């Protein structure tokens, strides 16, 4: 407790001295996940805690609809699971580097957890009561990289993540541990 209080006090004194100004980024853009209907939207809020640590809280959704013809040709069981939506909490570590004067850039290594919703498009799971649009919630973890470029308060950030979760067929079957990639490209405003 004493070391935690001392750390918070030191950060507060740095902020008061003007050496650590607040930095919050609001971001929004597009995301891509593997599978049919891969494009969606993403948005969130990223706040700096120290010069090296930041927290990103956000969500994504893949809203394009799934048609039966999109997944009918799949042969590998893992490809029946499609990452559709999610909300996440992502601490990140900034890789320190010198900054140019006219613009700024950063690279973050992020890992975190969230809740995702996935679709099970296995033909044996789809019957009169289920459709490919039905989603199932699952706890998930992820890791990835994020790169951003900023000029003034505006910028662009690109990120890649690997989501790990356990998929379960809607009707019977053994669960599968899945690793599914996600890419995103977003604009942001920093204040």
Q: What CATH architecture applies to the domain 23-190?
A: Beta Barrel (2.40)
CA atoms lying within 13 Å on the CB side of residue 16? 6
For 30-88, the pLDDT digits (tens) are: 999 987 778 999 999 999 888 899 999 999 998 877 765 455 555 555 567 889 999 99
| Count of helices and strands (H, E) across the chain | 2, 8
Torsion of CA 63, 32, 35, 141, to 10 degrees: -100
For the segment 167-190, the average pLDDT, to the nearest whole number, is: 85
For 4-26, the pLDDT digits (tens) are: 445 555 555 555 455 556 689 99
pLDDT of residue 10: 57
Q: In angstroms, how far is CA 138 from the centroid of its own chain?
A: 15
């Amino acid at each position: 407790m004493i070391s935690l209080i001392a750390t918070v006090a030191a950060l507060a004194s740095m902020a008061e001295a003007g050496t650590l100004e607040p930095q919050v980024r609001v971001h929004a853009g597009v995301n891509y996940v593997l599978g049919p209907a891969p494009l969606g939207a993403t948005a969130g809020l990223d706040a700096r805690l120290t010069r090296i640590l930041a927290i990103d809280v956000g969500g994504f959704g893949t809203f394009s609809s799934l048609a039966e013809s999109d997944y009918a040709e799949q042969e590998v069981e893992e490809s029946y699971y499609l990452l559709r939506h999610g909300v996440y909490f992502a601490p990140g570590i900034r890789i320190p580097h010198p900054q140019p004067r006219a613009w700024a850039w950063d690279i973050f290594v992020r890992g975190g957890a969230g809740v995702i919703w996935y679709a099970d498009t296995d033909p044996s799971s789809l019957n009169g009561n289920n459709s490919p649009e039905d989603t199932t919630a699952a706890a998930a973890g992820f890791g990835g990289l994020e790169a951003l470029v900023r000029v003034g308060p505006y910028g662009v950030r690109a990120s890649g993540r690997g989501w790990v979760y356990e998929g379960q067929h809607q009707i019977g079957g053994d669960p599968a541990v899945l690793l599914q990639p996600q890419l995103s490209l977003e604009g942001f405003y920093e204040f």
